[in-house]
Amino acid sequence: MGGVGSAVHRTIIVVDVEGFGNRLRTNEHQVNVRAGLYRAVRRAFDTAGVPWGSCHREDRGDGVFILAPAETAKAHFVVTLPHALAEELREHNATHRPEERIRVRMALHAGEVTYDQHGVTAASINLAFRLLDARPLKAALAESPGVLALITSEWFHDEVVRHSEDAAPATYRPVRVAVKETSAVAWICLPDHPYPPDAAQQAEPVQEHRIESVPPQPPAVQHVTAAGQGSIASGAMFGNVNHYHHAGRQVPLAPGDPADTAGAPQ
């Protein structure tokens, strides 16, 4: 860990349980969900070769915030960790009641962070939490039969994902994230229910996905509604998702309404 006030580079991982506060979950259910989440994440880190004991960890009630050391290869977090975590969650779900089953969103980013007497803070951490709360990510998990939806920052995708064939970069899809003061492009994949490979996506220049190149929402935007309250087994509530067409694909737009801001650091 860095000293007070010193900025150090870290890989940022944030995991959040879908529908944790659903009224069908009692306190006992939530305790068992939390135990299952920590067990799954810890085992997945072990499988990925990321020393759990060397990571900075903070409990988030319905999730966990983790900083991995700079010397840990970032490819571990997109090649091995997502699949290992999905497998651990499936094993948990197979032996627990519906109210104790777990599906999660996970956000990945990296950057400089600063430790102080209260913990750690950084713009890079803020971005990771904004990505975690993005509507397109919530909708992707809600619509998936799998147990995990992963979102990476544009930086993490450009510097790590697209350079690793084992990370299956063609199964990632670009989305526009608008949460609070954040407006950014990010990339989503569903490790245990992947999008079909998109070869055209890989051929596009990286700069086409930068924030400044994202076109404004056209007047006649296609609306795809995915609203309503889901069950514990299939997920929690998720809102409307708008789409625009970018380079031949539909890219979800996050309107950034107040529902997208819960749980992010101030």
Any idea where the domains of the chain sit in the sequence? 7-195+217-260
DSSP labels for 105-119?
Answer: EEEEEEEEEEEETTE
CA 72 – CA 8 distance, rounded (Å): 13
pLDDT of residue 51 exceeding 60: yes
Pick the CATH number of 7-195+217-260 from 3.30.2010.30, 3.30.70.1230, 1.10.4160.10, 3.30.565.10: 3.30.70.1230
pLDDT of residue 181 exceeding 70: yes
Most confident of 56-70, 226-240, 250-264: 56-70
φ/ψ (deg, to 5) at 96: -130, 160
Collapsing DSSP to helix, strand or coil, 88 comes out as helix
- Give the pLDDT of residue 262: 39
CB 117 within 8 A of CB 202: no
CB 78 within 8 A of CB 65: no
The two structure tokens encoding residue 225 = 């509604």
Does the model's pTM come out above 0.85? no
Collapsing DSSP to helix, strand or coil, 21 comes out as coil
- Give the pLDDT of residue 201: 53
Q: Tell me how crowded residue 105 is: count the other CB atoms within 10 A of its CB.
A: 23
Average pLDDT estimate for 104-128: 96
Percent of all residues in the chain with a pLDDT value above 70, rounded to a whole number: 72
Read off the pLDDT of residues 100-114 as tens digits, 9 standing for 90 and up.
999 999 999 999 999
